[in-house]
Amino acid sequence: MKLFKALFTVFLTIALIWALQTKFGDLPPLGKFLNPATGFWQNAESRNITPKLTEKITGLNGGITIRYDEYMIPHIFAQNDHDLYFAQGYVTAKDRLWQMDIQTRSAAGRLSEIVGPKALDLDRYHRRMGMVYGAEQTMLMSMKDPKVKEMLEAYSDGVNAYIHSLPPKYYPIEFKLLDYAPEDFKPINCALILKLMSEVLATNSDDFAMTNTLKLFGPKVTAELFPDYPFKEDPIIPAGTKWDFKPLKIPAPSKGFIDDMTDTIKTKHGPEGIGSNNWVIGGSKTANGYPILANDPHLELTYPSIWYQMQMSAPGVNVYGVTIPGAPTIVIGYNQKIGWGVTNVDADVLDWYQIRFKDLTKNEYWYNNKWVPTKRRIEVIKIRGQADMIDSVIYTHVGPVVYANSNVKPKMSRAAFVPTGHALRWIAHDPSIEFKTLYILNRGKNYDDYRKALTYWTAPAQNFIFASVDKDIAITPNGKFPLKYKDQGKFLLDGSDPADNWQGWIPPEQNPTVKNPAQGFLSSANQSSTDTTYPYYINWRFEPYTRAKRINDRLRAMHNATVDSIRILQSDNYSIMAQDILPTMLGDIDQSKLTAKQKQFYGIIKTWDKHFDAKSVGATFFNAWWANLYNAIWADDFTVKNYLGIQLKWPSKDRTIQLLTTQKTSHWYRDTSNQLNTRQNLVNKTFNATIDSLTKKYGGLSAAWQWGTVKGSRISHLGKVDGLGSGIFSSGGTSGVINALSDTHGPSWRMVVQFGPTVEGYGIFPGGESGNPGSYFYDNFFNTWKNGQLKKLLFLSSSNDGEQHIKSTITLSNK
């Protein structure tokens, strides 16, 4: 009995400890996570900041001083390039180690290693899209350049120096939640970050949906509904700008064909209006006579923030701006000579080629009138708690066949745009050296440096805006653009026909560019790069012109501009789309037939100032009314019967506005239940339906109707952990206005740079410098950002400068 009691308690205690050390499902191991000696409590940062720290590490060429200001933004002072990037890796890891780990893992298709089989589809998707393959190609070229090689290696060494100095009790809390440990950082991770940018910004492909649309409606209707140039446009390169080069010969179109594929994904109306703004205003229009440059990239908002601020100084460089954790250099920023910013170019740099395999072994495919062997790339995917998965991906002369047949294609929304049996040609697979662009810009002194830097940029293509103390302003939609025949890649392409291959490249110096235009300002907001006179094809569709039009209207009218006038413009909520379409909609309402309640709403929308402000009820009504009207026009034609089950491309907002403003009657206004083909019928019907549906949803008119409440913006934790995000907040803005804050996406970094004898920067991002939810600096910028304010950026001329702002100093020296 005594023995039994002893054995029983021994067993019970060991079982208890084992259970507390083990991860069950999504729960962290409770004992490991909760115990105060090594668990999450150790991540609580004290309000008392250590003013001076000295660390001895190996691998430095000299001493490094890192000054942290009152927002815990690091200002690095190094004595050479190597140490500068070493320190950048070190301080970034100190604040954002988990973010670097999870983002590079995600890009590399290695999430299953830490979260188990539930991430397998996503991992396979990333592998099969060739993310790792593309990163390897980038490394091949980047490591041949001594400067870039030094930079990538020093950055990685810096990250690793920090990891090796970190006891497990101080691992970032997400490692503890997911129960794994940081691993050594490799230079290829920097390239993976670039591929991640390309995935977010340069995988916008409608080829599959467009081909289905073409099959269903035929070429005439498709050409009518999906024109190659928008109805309303205000291009990035001001219309009428002359091209001072002799263009290459444009390749001839291939014979082409439409394949007869079907798919099981239901039709979906893709989002529009995600993008970014940047602009620059010349000295002739500013108060101090020097340019002002502004940039606000719109991305999915997360904690920790996508961006990390820092100043980097070494002989030959002193630059301030934002970096992406996991990649060296400043991505958007300024020094005392130049400033630059970026927005996305919606270039058509991702195409699908139908592949005809010889047989089920898929060892050969038909190309250029003969059978050609395929190549295989083996992807080993490690899975937590399971055996490795070996995935073999077929590669052709254009690239990987992402899903060779429909039974390997997952039902994952991200993969929906992939046509099965097609090979992927994607710019992110090409050898590239983007870090060289940033390396040169960080040290840039003038316009010539800017132009030189841009020649090294491949992907994702960006509208690089520029200003300098020499009072030059410029913008260049820039990247490596394939030389194509017009509309090549608007639809799926033929993988057997060499005429459908990309036929070379637009020479970098012939990318659209403009310097010091007569209008005195430049801007971009993801709209068409040029007017129709540009000789090359970049894409048939871009983001709507609405943000660009508003920016240009305001800049045109602006005189004696200051930082504050630019700041206010960055949070502007005025809707050009409402300006373009609302008069037509209101004009069709027959007021004599309205009930008292309908009259009340008519009054609200009629007097609405077209601003998507947080408290606006008119914005809520317009937004819902427009969505109803858009659906009433297209849903019956573009929601395909279930048995067909193919995805179609829906006409754009721009095309819909063209239809509405130019045609009172059209067969598109007709649907199965309604044979009237008048606009007025649809406008009135949807007006009434909008009142009904909103009243049903929000009750009588009250604060619940306010746009900010209805929209419900939020910033989620990067790992979607509940409780580590911002929670829902009310705020103005929407996609399609300058302040493009939707529910989950928005301005991820707002920067304004005022040039002058001293260049001054202002900026803010939602979040904070620290990635630690237990830090005072995790979300301390949030309110300033939400209120549309900026912080003056502290630019130190030397490590002894600005002493009154310095809260902490770290000195790194060799062991």
Partner 1 sequence: MLFFIIFILSLLASFVLPWWTIAIISFLMALFIAKTSRHAFWSGFVAIFIVWIVVALFKSVPNDHILAKRVAAVFHLPHWILLLLVTALIGGLVAGMSALTGFYVKKAFKK
584-to-212, 593, 683 alpha-carbon distances in Å? 32, 18, 9
CB 477 within 8 A of CB 461: yes
Pick the piece of the chain touching partner 1 (CB under 8 A) from 15-23, 78-86, 670-678, 684-692.
15-23
- At 229 the three-state DSSP class reads coil
Q: Which of 260, 722, 803, 804 binds partner 1 (CB under 8 A)?
A: 722
Nearer Cβ to partner 1, position 36 or 63? 36
**Least distance in Å: CB of 390 to partner 1?**
36
Range 171-190, binding partner 1 (CB under 8 A) = 173, 177
In one-letter notation, the amino acid at residue 700 is: G
Nearer Cβ to partner 1, position 49 or 140? 49
Q: How far apart are CA 149 and CA 162, in angstroms?
A: 20
Nearer Cβ to partner 1, position 31 or 517? 31
Pick the piece of the chain touching partner 1 (CB under 8 A) from 17-25, 157-165, 559-567, 679-687.
17-25
675: exposed, middle or buried (Cβ count in 10 Å: 0-12, 13-18, 19+)? exposed
Establish if 644 lies at the interface with partner 1 (CB under 8 A).
Answer: no
In 180-226, which ranges are E strands? Answer: none
Tokens of 108: 């590399």
Pick the piece of the chain touching partner 1 (CB under 8 A) from 58-66, 308-316, 491-499, 719-727.
719-727
Pick the piece of the chain touching partner 1 (CB under 8 A) from 109-117, 197-205, 510-518, 766-774.
766-774
Q: Which of 723, 803, 804, 815 binds partner 1 (CB under 8 A)?
A: 723
- Residue 361 CB contacts under 8 Å (≥ 6 apart), including other chains: none
Establish if 704 lies at the interface with partner 1 (CB under 8 A).
Answer: no
- At 716 the three-state DSSP class reads strand
Nearer Cβ to partner 1, position 44 or 53? 44
Establish if 449 lies at the interface with partner 1 (CB under 8 A).
Answer: no
Q: How far apart are CA 566 and CA 348, in angstroms?
A: 32
Pick the piece of the chain touching partner 1 (CB under 8 A) from 5-13, 474-482, 608-616, 649-657.
5-13
Pick the piece of the chain touching partner 1 (CB under 8 A) from 419-427, 593-601, 715-723, 741-749.
715-723
Establish if 807 lies at the interface with partner 1 (CB under 8 A).
Answer: no
Q: How far apart are CA 129 and CA 415, in angstroms?
A: 10
Binding mask 42-81 for partner 1 (x = CB under 8 A): xxxxxxx---------------------------------
- At 284 the three-state DSSP class reads helix
Establish if 120 lies at the interface with partner 1 (CB under 8 A).
Answer: no
Specify the DSSP element, H or E, that contains 215: helix 207-225
Establish if 499 lies at the interface with partner 1 (CB under 8 A).
Answer: no
699-to-55, 653, 696, 702 alpha-carbon distances in Å? 62, 29, 6, 8
Nearer Cβ to partner 1, position 20 or 221? 20
DSSP annotation of 253 reads P
Pick the piece of the chain touching partner 1 (CB under 8 A) from 4-12, 235-243, 372-380, 688-696.
4-12
Tokens of 478: 């820039």
Nearer Cβ to partner 1, position 89 or 771? 771
CB 140 within 8 A of CB 415: no
Establish if 766 lies at the interface with partner 1 (CB under 8 A).
Answer: no
- Residue 146 CB contacts under 8 Å (≥ 6 apart), including other chains: none
Q: Which of 23, 25, 41, 184 binds partner 1 (CB under 8 A)?
A: 41
Establish if 16 lies at the interface with partner 1 (CB under 8 A).
Answer: yes
Give phi and psi for 18, each to the nearest 5.
Answer: -60, -45
Establish if 721 lies at the interface with partner 1 (CB under 8 A).
Answer: yes
- At 374 the three-state DSSP class reads coil
Nearer Cβ to partner 1, position 173 or 416? 173
**Least distance in Å: CB of 385 to partner 1?**
22
Strands 473-478 and 462-468: antiparallel
- At 68 the three-state DSSP class reads strand
Nearer Cβ to partner 1, position 169 or 215? 169
Q: How far apart are CA 463 and CA 461, in angstroms?
A: 7
Q: Which residue has the tokens 């397998």?
A: 120
Q: How far apart are CA 508 and CA 499, in angstroms?
A: 23
Establish if 32 lies at the interface with partner 1 (CB under 8 A).
Answer: yes
362: exposed, middle or buried (Cβ count in 10 Å: 0-12, 13-18, 19+)? middle
Neighbours of 338 (CB within 10 A): 28
- Residue 581 CB contacts under 8 Å (≥ 6 apart), including other chains: 626, 657, 660, 661
Pick the piece of the chain touching partner 1 (CB under 8 A) from 16-24, 340-348, 426-434, 471-479.
16-24
Establish if 2 lies at the interface with partner 1 (CB under 8 A).
Answer: yes
Nearer Cβ to partner 1, position 29 or 158? 29
Nearer Cβ to partner 1, position 130 or 172? 172
Establish if 770 lies at the interface with partner 1 (CB under 8 A).
Answer: no
Establish if 12 lies at the interface with partner 1 (CB under 8 A).
Answer: yes
Looking at the DSSP bridge assignments, the partners of residue 462 are: 344, 478
Nearer Cβ to partner 1, position 8 or 229? 8
Tokens of 271: 């989002």
**Least distance in Å: CB of 103 to partner 1?**
21
Establish if 774 lies at the interface with partner 1 (CB under 8 A).
Answer: yes
Establish if 627 lies at the interface with partner 1 (CB under 8 A).
Answer: no
Q: How far apart are CA 458 and CA 782, in angstroms?
A: 33
Residues at the contact surface with partner 1, assessed by CB under 8 A: 2-3, 5-6, 8-10, 12-13, 16-17, 20-21, 30-32, 34-48, 173, 177, 721-724, 772-776, 778
